[in-house]
Amino acid sequence: NRRLCLVLGDQLSFDLASLNGLDAQRDAVLLVEVMEEARHVPHHPQKIVLIFSAMRHFAQALKQQGFCVHYVTLDDPLNSGSVPGELLRWQSQLQSEEVHLTECGDWRLEHSLRECGLPLQWHSDTRFLCSRDEFSSWAKDKKQLRMEFFYREMRRKSGLLMNIDGTPAGGNWNFDAENRKALPKSVVAPYPARFSADAITQDVLELVRAQFANHYGSVDVFDYPVTHADAQSLWDYFLDFGLAAFGDYQDAMACDEPFLFHARISAALNIGLLDVRQLCGDVESAYLSGRIKLNAAEGFIRQLIGWREYVRGVYWLKMPDYAGGNVFGNSRPLPEFYWTGKTQMNCMRQAIGQSLEYAYAHHIQRLMVTGNFALLAGIAPAEICEWYLAIYMDAFDWVELPNTLGMVMHADGGYLGSKPYCASGQYINRMSDYCRTCVYKVSESTADNACPFNALYWHFIMRHSELLRGNHRMGLTYKNLDRLAESKREALWQRGEMLLAKLDAGESL
Ligand code: SF4
């Protein structure tokens, strides 16, 4: 039978399950650039450039391998504007007898394809270690899921950092406690690897500048890899210059240092330019050959086979209801400064500013700065989720939604993580140099120039006391609250109220 294989923009892997077994003479591959996907949230223009350019390069590589590839550009006059629309059009035009595709990364898109009226042959996304079914079996009968236990399963399954007798290398599963160092002044981060835009990328840049000028985010510079070879170079660069210090400083933040020792491979990995098994194997080899310490290797591998696979599992287990989670009943709109970076809070200005400039911020900036602020300020989960999905180059719904709604906002009531990641300005001060040059004073909590995170933190703790006091991991926090003098609690509450009222009035902080 003549097959048509649809390949989506985040499925650019040569070993994609649905590409397996295609006959180059008889079958066809379809890739489509569509407005519905580019606009359903206002994606950062660099993210659109990345995906379209990587798709065009992938199509070219498939053609060079002899495949018959049909590629629909965004500005093709016959483009129907949606993935199901294009699939229907091409299936009919080519009279394909079978349509093959790999599971999507977005429930919304997968649902619309399943409803499109064509009989589809779905393939499991084998680029992940843990299939959707395997995760469901693991989660079955568990009231609360914990990443740590899932991660141990994945370590056993993959054999990564495992001793022959089935115990973890170094005697511990997790060395996170060693991965929380602030950045000393004497330590200098490597210069970031950059990739120049070739003719294909230049064309896409022109298209994106013309079509998405109203989306937030800069597209003045685009230096991200769009081919498998360049993604591999970015990875090699990290192995040589970033990995050894990655563990120690993975939670650190510093002014005007957008990347530090982070690999910045998440976008390339999430669209299929890199392979998770290869990355983990390389990191394990670096440890075994003595080039890096165990905490760096374990910390990196945990992000990939632990957290990344875990959030994907939760997403497919719980969608579509998961997206509606809002356990705190938040309704505050997202402040405008998330889209502009115009705030006096230096930590927020740094994290948002680099997100707009590079479509990138690392996990602690996302979790403990912009995410923490949204949690403390009671932002509606759907609004902050949309922001993360739009602004970050690596954000796809399966990874963004559980990370934001579950981990950042605790809006799923603790299904994904056992406690909210709420913190005052003290945490940001400990992990960064942001506070040193901020107009606000991190040591103050109720004064006029006090760090907004401080009063908002206690306001959050007080206003959700009923929900959170019983959580044993919050016990110390509530003990500290109870120790405060009544007058101090009142002053914190009043300042919190004043800051929230400013947000409600559309003012920046
Ligand atoms: Fe952020 Fe507060 Fe520090 Fe300013 S003082 S950088 S607002 S944590």
Share of the chain above pLDDT 70, in %: 100
The verdict on residue 59 lying in a domain is yes
The verdict on residue 493 lying in a domain is yes
Domain count, the chain: 3
Tell me how far the alpha carbon of residue 202 lies from the centroid of ligand 1, in angstroms.
Answer: 39
Residue whose CA lies nearest to ligand 1 atom number 2: 451
pLDDT digits (tens, 9 = 90+) for 472-481: 999 999 999 9
Q: Say whether both 84 and 165 belong to one domain.
A: no
User: Which residue type occupies 441?
Assistant: K
pLDDT digits (tens, 9 = 90+) for 9-46: 999 999 999 999 899 889 999 999 999 999 999 999 99
Kindly state the average pLDDT of the residues 152-173: 95
Which structural domain range is residue 413 located in? 337-504
The verdict on residue 202 lying in a domain is no
Which residue stretches of 377-431 are H helix?
381-391, 397-401, 425-431
Element (H, E) at 101: strand 98-102
Q: Say whether both 261 and 346 belong to one domain.
A: no
In angstroms, the CA 159 to CA 397 distance is 29
Q: Say whether both 84 and 147 belong to one domain.
A: no
In angstroms, the CA 270 to CA 336 distance is 28
Q: Say whether both 117 and 138 belong to one domain.
A: no
pLDDT digits (tens, 9 = 90+) for 430-472: 999 999 999 999 999 999 999 999 999 999 999 999 999 999 9
For residue 441, give the ligand 1 atom closest to its CA: 5
Tell me how far the alpha carbon of residue 340 lies from the centroid of ligand 1, in angstroms.
Answer: 18
- Domain end point (choices 94, 123, 152): 123
> ∠ at Cα 397 (394, 401), nearest 5°?
100
Q: Say whether both 182 and 264 belong to one domain.
A: yes
Contacts 24+ apart (CB under 8 A), 175-181: 175/247, 175/294, 175/295, 175/298, 175/299, 176/299, 176/302, 178/247, 178/248, 178/295, 179/247, 179/248, 179/250, 179/251, 179/295, 179/299, 180/251, 180/431, 181/248, 181/249, 181/251, 181/252
In angstroms, the CA 393 to CA 268 distance is 9
Closest to 11 measured CA to CA, from 229, 225, 273, 267: 273
pLDDT score, position 179: 66
Q: Say whether both 164 and 285 belong to one domain.
A: yes
The verdict on residue 258 lying in a domain is yes
Contact between 280 and 158 under an 8 Å Cβ cutoff? The reply is: yes
CATH classification of the domain holding 426: 1.10.579.10
pLDDT digits (tens, 9 = 90+) for 109-120: 999 999 999 999
Contact between 46 and 221 under an 8 Å Cβ cutoff? The reply is: no
pLDDT score, position 257: 86
Q: Say whether both 28 and 164 belong to one domain.
A: no
pLDDT digits (tens, 9 = 90+) for 103-149: 999 999 999 999 999 999 999 999 999 999 999 999 998 877 889 99
The verdict on residue 136 lying in a domain is yes
Residue whose CA lies nearest to ligand 1 atom number 8: 425
Q: Say whether both 147 and 115 belong to one domain.
A: no
Q: Say whether both 100 and 176 belong to one domain.
A: no
For residue 425, give the ligand 1 atom closest to its CA: 8
Residue 389 pLDDT more than 70? Answer: yes
pLDDT score, position 138: 95
Q: Say whether both 54 and 181 belong to one domain.
A: no
For residue 428, give the ligand 1 atom closest to its CA: 8
CATH classification of the domain holding 90: 3.40.50.620
In angstroms, the CA 200 to CA 33 distance is 14
The verdict on residue 198 lying in a domain is no
Read off the pTM.
Answer: 0.95
The verdict on residue 33 lying in a domain is yes
Tell me how far the alpha carbon of residue 508 lies from the centroid of ligand 1, in angstroms.
Answer: 14
For residue 345, give the ligand 1 atom closest to its CA: 7
More confident residue, 263 or 373: 373
Helix, strand and coil percent figures for the chain, each rounded to 5: 50, 5, 40
Q: Say whether both 144 and 256 belong to one domain.
A: yes
pLDDT score, position 79: 97
CATH classification of the domain holding 283: 1.25.40.80
pLDDT score, position 382: 97
pLDDT digits (tens, 9 = 90+) for 285-312: 999 999 988 988 998 999 999 999 999 9
Tell me how far the alpha carbon of residue 217 lies from the centroid of ligand 1, in angstroms.
Answer: 23
Contact between 441 and 430 under an 8 Å Cβ cutoff? The reply is: no
pLDDT score, position 251: 84
According to DSSP, the residues that pair with 123 across neighbouring strands are 102
Q: How far does the chain reach from its first CA to its final CA, in angstroms?
A: 62
pLDDT digits (tens, 9 = 90+) for 184-221: 888 888 888 899 999 999 999 999 999 999 999 989 88
Average pLDDT, the chain: 94
Residue whose CA lies nearest to ligand 1 atom number 3: 435
Q: Say whether both 375 and 464 belong to one domain.
A: yes
Kindly state the average pLDDT of the residues 350-374: 95
- Domain end point (choices 75, 90, 123): 123
Q: In the structure, which protein residues have their CB atom closer than 6 angstroms to any atom of ligand 1?
A: 345-347, 425, 428-429, 434-435, 438, 440, 442, 451-453
According to DSSP, the residues that pair with 71 across neighbouring strands are 31
pLDDT score, position 460: 98
pLDDT score, position 247: 75
Measuring CA to CA, how many Å separate 86 from each of 47, 83, 149, 497?
22, 5, 42, 51
